[in-house]
Amino acid sequence: MDGIINVNKPLGITSHDVVYRLRKILGIKKIGHTGTLDPDAEGVLPMCIGRGTKLAEELTAKEKQYLAELTLGITTDTQDISGTILDTKAVVSTKEEIENAIMSFVGEIDQIPPMFSAIKVDGKKLYELAREGKTIEMPPRRVEVFSIEILDIDTESKKARFLVDCSKGTYIRTLCHDIGKKLGCGGVMSALKRTRSGDFRIENAYTLDEISKMAEENDFSFMTGIDEVLAHYDKVILADRNATRMCNGITISVAGIENGKTFRAYNEQGKFLALCTMENGKVNVVRSFYGEAPK
């Protein structure tokens, strides 16, 4: 069983909990996620199954979209509403000032990763160090906010809701923290839903209960095939002799393919074999998907 499942992660569980649940449902150990979602966040969490785990790094690097809620006037140690409150201040900014502050973060920005994150320092995750009462001075990281669409600003409840399209590695709670800091009143992320990760969208995501029920009925249509995920690369059908030689680790030559081109290689029976590049007339296997599936 190989492919990608677009899981709609619920609130209250970790990304690793999703991995554990899927292992039980599908009876396969080789499962990995493509970007952690905190227990207080929900939404799109693409899960790589079997040989699909070879795509984990590529999928993790895709741009993301989030629906975020910012609550102003509060600062916490985790930069979200579940943390310990460090400070509270009155919110005196107008709706226009709040809007301008939010929109000022569109573009390339520097973020200092929060202490309560999974980034490792000397083999230890930052949140583990934070729980020990330690603070590490982290250098800023350059990320990009491609766009922000403000959906609502309520000065009475001191809340703002907006959609954010951003690059890998962008912390939305840090974005909320920095917006509050710019307004001088502090701010925290009070809700978060990932609505898109690369080409995987919330409207096409499956809940764990839906996946469990479908699997019991031997309906695995929730699985996206590996070659479907790589469909932006052209499809090339290899003659069976060449396909066999390539799968046996022998370098093959194929005419008519542009040098430097990346493509999906299939045999004559239509089986997807590998992602390849053409280098000086020779086929170079970038990532193979043939052979025995991992268990």
Q: How far is the C-alpha of 179 from the C-alpha of 57, rounded, in Å?
A: 30
15-26 and 208-216 helices, crossing angle to 10°: 10
Active-site positions read 38
The contacts found for 210-218 with CB under 8 angstroms, 24 or more apart, are: 211/5, 211/7, 211/22, 211/25, 212/21, 212/25, 215/25, 215/26
Tell me the CA distances in angstroms from 19 to 42, 45, 49, 207, 218, one per residue in order. Answer: 15, 10, 10, 13, 20
| DSSP-based three-state secondary structure for 152 | strand
The angle subtended at Cα 222 by Cα 29 and Cα 211, nearest 5°, is 65
Relative to beta strand 200-201, strand 223-224 is unpaired
Per DSSP, the three-state class of 148 is: strand
Tell me how far apart the alpha carbons of residues 57 and 80 are, in angstroms, rounded to a whole number.
27
Q: Are 10 and 194 in contact, with CB atoms under 8 Å apart?
A: no
Q: CA-to-CA distance for 21 and 19, rounded, in angstroms?
A: 6
In terms of DSSP bridges, do strands 187-197 and 41-49 run parallel, antiparallel, or are they unpaired?
Answer: parallel
